[in-house]
């Protein structure tokens, strides 16, 4: 069983944010992180079943000021990371 704290530390150093399937959910949770620091990361961690992401979100929530800045940066990464991915195909009526 991998060490959750070590995994959270590695993800933090590398800037690895939760990979959600839905582009809209990534953008929404990224925006939530701007206003309610850590909550977007915690929810994303539960969605992808990753305890390390939940731990990162708790760190963002409970560390004053630094956690807020960290949460904003994480929210930006969540939004940008998803936008840089492949564009989903849409069906056309024509």
Q: Is 84 exposed, middle or buried (0-12, 13-18, 19+ CB in 10 A)?
A: exposed
Give the pLDDT confidence of 28-65 residue by residue, as tens digits.
998 998 888 889 999 999 999 999 999 999 998 888 88
Who has greater pLDDT, 44 or 1? 44
Question: What end-to-end distance do the CA atoms of the chain give, in Å?
Answer: 52
> Is the overall model pTM greater than 0.85, yes or no?
no
């Amino acid at each position: 069983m991998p060490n959750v704290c070590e995994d959270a530390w590695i993800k933090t150093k590398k800037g690895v944010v939760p990979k959600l399937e839905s582009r809209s959910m990534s953008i929404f949770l990224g925006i939530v992180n701007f206003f309610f620091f850590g909550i977007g990361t915690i929810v994303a961690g539960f969605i992808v079943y990753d305890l390390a992401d939940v731990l990162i979100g708790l760190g963002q929530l409970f560390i004053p000021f630094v956690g807020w800045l960290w949460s904003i940066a994480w929210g930006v990464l969540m939004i940008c990371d998803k936008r840089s991915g492949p564009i989903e195909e849409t069906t056309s009526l024509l």
